[in-house]
């Protein structure tokens, strides 16, 4: 069964550094998402991406964040100048078509900012 994959599984970085989180969505999916979950809190939407552009973004997704689909398979989330409060699990998700509402999540990248 096809799955969303994410790398790395755990990233430790120092405050102020830039990190890139990588995702490979399910191959025939067209819609891509990033969510985050701070430890002990609920899952929060960050951004959606379709047809090589951002469709929607939340208030969390400010200028510190950017997304890119650099090739036909990868979908990345870049976080510039990381802060302690960026420490969280970051989940990538994908969805097949506009007629299908279900989103499938990758295993996540645990980001620790020290």
The contact set with another protein (CB under 8 A) reads 31, 33, 35, 41-45, 48, 50-51, 55-56, 58, 89, 91, 93, 95, 98, 101-108, 110
DSSP state of 85: G
Report the residue number, 17 or 97, with the smaller CB distance to another protein. Answer: 97
The residues, any chain, with a CB within 8 Å of residue 101's CB and separated by 6 or more, are: 95
Report the residue number, 79 or 93, with the smaller CB distance to another protein. Answer: 93
What's the number of CA atoms in the CB half-sphere (13 Å) around residue 52?
A: 3
- The least CB distance from residue 91 to another protein, in Å, is 6
- The least CB distance from residue 30 to another protein, in Å, is 9
What is the C-alpha to C-alpha distance for residues 24 and 16, in angstroms, rounded to an integer?
26
Helix (H) or strand (E) holding 72: none
- The least CB distance from residue 16 to another protein, in Å, is 26
């Amino acid at each position: 069964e096809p799955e969303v994959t994410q790398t790395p599984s755990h990233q430790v970085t120092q405050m102020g550094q830039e990190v890139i989180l990588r995702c490979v969505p399910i191959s025939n999916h067209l819609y891509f998402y990033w969510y985050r979950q701070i430890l002990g809190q609920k899952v929060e939407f960050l951004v959606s991406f379709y047809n090589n552009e951002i469709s929607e973004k939340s208030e969390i997704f400010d200028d510190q964040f950017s997304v890119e689909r650099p090739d036909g398979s990868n979908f990345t989330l870049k976080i510039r100048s990381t802060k302690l409060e960026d420490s969280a699990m970051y989940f990538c998700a994908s969805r097949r078509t506009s007629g299908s509402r279900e989103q499938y999540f990758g295993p996540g990248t645990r980001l620790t900012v020290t």
